[in-house]
Structures are given as structure tokens and as C-alpha cells.
Amino acid sequence: MRLKQIRFVLILTVALCCIPATRFYEIDLPLFRFLNGQNHVDPLSLHLSGEFVESNLGTAQEADGSVTVRMIAEQYLFIPHCILVPAGVPIRLRVTSADAVHSLSFSDTNYAVKVVPGSVSQARLQFPHAGEYKMSCREFCGAGHYAMRSRLVVVSRDQFPKLQAGERGSCAAR
């Protein structure tokens, strides 16, 4: 019981002391998940094995027709650099950071995802029409922050490639 009390005090201290009051509403779940040990990944070895190994990044088609996109944010790029998804299909975005706190946002939408090293951030997205959305980091992450850009390309369902189990899609495959 004592360990749970210490963890609670630690979370409360970080929430109240380390995050400016003007941004209190932005205390994202990744921070609390990280402190609670949920969805933890080792940022130093995440590319070597497990969910975020390079061959598993990009778009994967699920059995129910939805897609899962896995990405890594690191100074000063997103991997993969370009994501391809079908229009009108539910998207589960799973992203982690290898080095610093990042905030991934999508142009012309209200979608934004805070990414914390050692934690997996997840979001549900859906884009109704084909088009291209610029993705940028909105959390200062160092000297090259201004260049941390990527893109998400939405194509019609009939233009989206049929992916086999274990196969990953990206803009490079187009």
C-alpha cells in the first residue's frame, strides 16, 4: 500500500508543480500512463524488437477493415516520414518517442497527439475525404524542431492497396 501512496504523490507533484497552470488541461494520458507503467516501451531499444521495430512501422490493415498506424517520433523527424491511409476508415494511431516529448498535429483538423518517451500514445482518427495532411511537431524538442514535418496521405478506399497480414503500407509503396 505504501508504494501506491508514493506513486500517487509523485504523479500529483509532477502534475501540479512541473506543468504550467495555463497548460493543465493538456496533461496528456501518456504522462500518467508512463508514471503508472502502462504501455511502457524502452526508448533506447524500441527499434530493435517489439511493436516499434522498423519493419512494423507504417499502416497495417486489420481484419475488421480498420487500419493501425505505428510511428516513432524522434529529433527531428517522424518515422515513417509519410503515412498512407484510406478515406472513411477508422484509424488507430500508435506512436512513441525515442528521445523527447513531441506533439504530433495534423493540418486542417483538431487532431493532436502528445508523445512521451517510454510511453505509447494512442489516438482514434478518421479522415472522410481523400487529401494530404501535413503533420508537424507542436512541442519544442530542440534546435531542429522547426524542420520536424511529415505528411499523411488519404486516398479513396479503392486506391488503398490491399495489405496482407504482416505487410505494412506507406507512401513509398505508391
129/14 Cα distance (integer angstroms): 40
Q: Please check the confidence at residue 102 and state whether its pLDDT lies above 70.
A: yes
Distance of alpha carbon 172 from alpha carbon 174, whole angstroms? 5
pLDDT per residue as tens digits for the range 146-165: 899 999 999 999 999 887 77
Residues 12, 78, single domain; the answer is: no
106 within domain boundaries: yes
Residue 102 in any domain: the answer is yes
Which residues is 112 bridged to in the sheet?
Answer: 105
Same domain, yes or no: 11 and 58: no
pLDDT tens figures, 3-13: 555 555 555 55
Q: Within a domain: residue 93?
A: yes
Same domain, 90 and 32: no
Give all strands (DSSP E) within 33-140, no chain letters.
Answer: 58-61, 67-74, 77-79, 82-86, 91-97, 102-106, 112-115, 121-125, 131-137
Instruction: Tell whether omega for the bond before 43 is within 30 degrees of 0, i.e. cis.
Output: no
Q: What is the pLDDT of residue 168?
A: 84
Backbone angles phi, psi at 43, to 5 degrees: -65, -20
How high is the pLDDT of residue 154?
96
Q: Please tell me the predicted confidence (pLDDT) of residue 23.
A: 41
Q: Are residues 31 and 72 in the same domain?
A: no
Full-prediction pTM beyond 0.85? no
| 112-115 vs 77-79, strand pairing mode | unpaired
Task: State whether 83 and 138 are in the same domain.
Answer: yes
- The number of distinct structural domains making up the chain is 2
Is 59 part of a structural domain of the chain?
yes
